Amino acid sequence: MVAIRIPKKNNHPAVGDNLTRYYHLPLVRYFFLKRLRLVLDLLGPKHFDSILEIGFGSGVLLPELSKRAIHLCGIDIHDSVGRVNEMLKKEGLNAALANGDILHLPYKDETFDCVISIATLEHIKQLPEAISEIRRILKKGGVAVLGFPVANKVSDLLLVLTGSLQAYQKKLREIHPSSHSDILAEVRKQFGNIKVKRFPNFLPLDLSLYCSCRSIRND
């Protein structure tokens, strides 16, 4: 399996809640890179004219997406666009990055051949509006690949060690108001077609840890 290209540790900026470091730590990085692998596997080898990544964060996926697009764009709500641009320059890459949110994407209808979003939709309460925006900016025949964590009791039991389960669940509902089931249901509603991959793949979806889905705008 070909290794995923991510920014070099010294170039990779810490953004937001600083998950950046986990991509460079032994053992822990396996799970974080697996999230990216799920999305890339669903994306496949196709080369696109234009890709937008919604919620690009620290820019960890941008080096891989740059291999697959002539025009690469990204949008995020954080205020570290400049730092991610500095990283891209050091890595010898180019992307048009912008500050903005998924509910009000500053792009015209049918702008992109592909939209990618990882670890974003679980934070959104207004799922219908968010998925509608993704669909709006996709060209007909365009591909959307979305990744998000799976909410289940296994995750609760693993994280209860860090505090009370009740407190954790309350906090989780605030941070992740939308579950994987909520997201998948809305994507099916608006796109119709859907392909899902999960990790670990030997477990049923609701018992896995992370999943990604791929949909195509057919009309």
- Domain count of the fold of the chain: 1
Of 18, 22, 99, 16, residue with least CA distance to 6 = 22
Please give the residue that has the higher pLDDT: either 138 or 28: 138
Residue at 50 is within a domain: yes
State whether the Cα torsion 22-28-29-32 is positive or negative.
negative
**Rounded distance, CA 74 to CA 56, Å?**
6
**Rounded distance, CA 196 to CA 205, Å?**
9
Strands 210-216 vs 138-149: parallel, antiparallel or unpaired = antiparallel
Residue at 74 is within a domain: yes
Read off the pLDDT of residues 56-113 as tens digits, 9 standing for 90 and up: 999 999 999 999 999 999 999 999 999 999 999 999 999 999 999 999 999 999 999 9
Residues 6+ apart with CB under 8 A from 173: none
Residue at 14 is within a domain: no
Residue at 157 is within a domain: no
State whether the Cα torsion 126-136-104-40 is positive or negative.
positive
Question: Residue 92 maps to which CATH number?
Answer: 3.40.50.150
At 6 the pLDDT is: 97
Residue at 1 is within a domain: no
What residue has token string 């570290």? 80
Read off the pLDDT of residues 28-48 as tens digits, 9 standing for 90 and up: 899 899 999 999 999 998 899
* Cβ count near 61 (within 10 Å): 24
Host domain of residue 201: 19-100+107-149+178-216
Residue at 93 is within a domain: yes
Q: Is the pLDDT of residue 170 over 60?
A: no
**Rounded distance, CA 155 to CA 148, Å?**
13
Residue at 170 is within a domain: no
Reported pTM: 0.91
Residue at 172 is within a domain: no
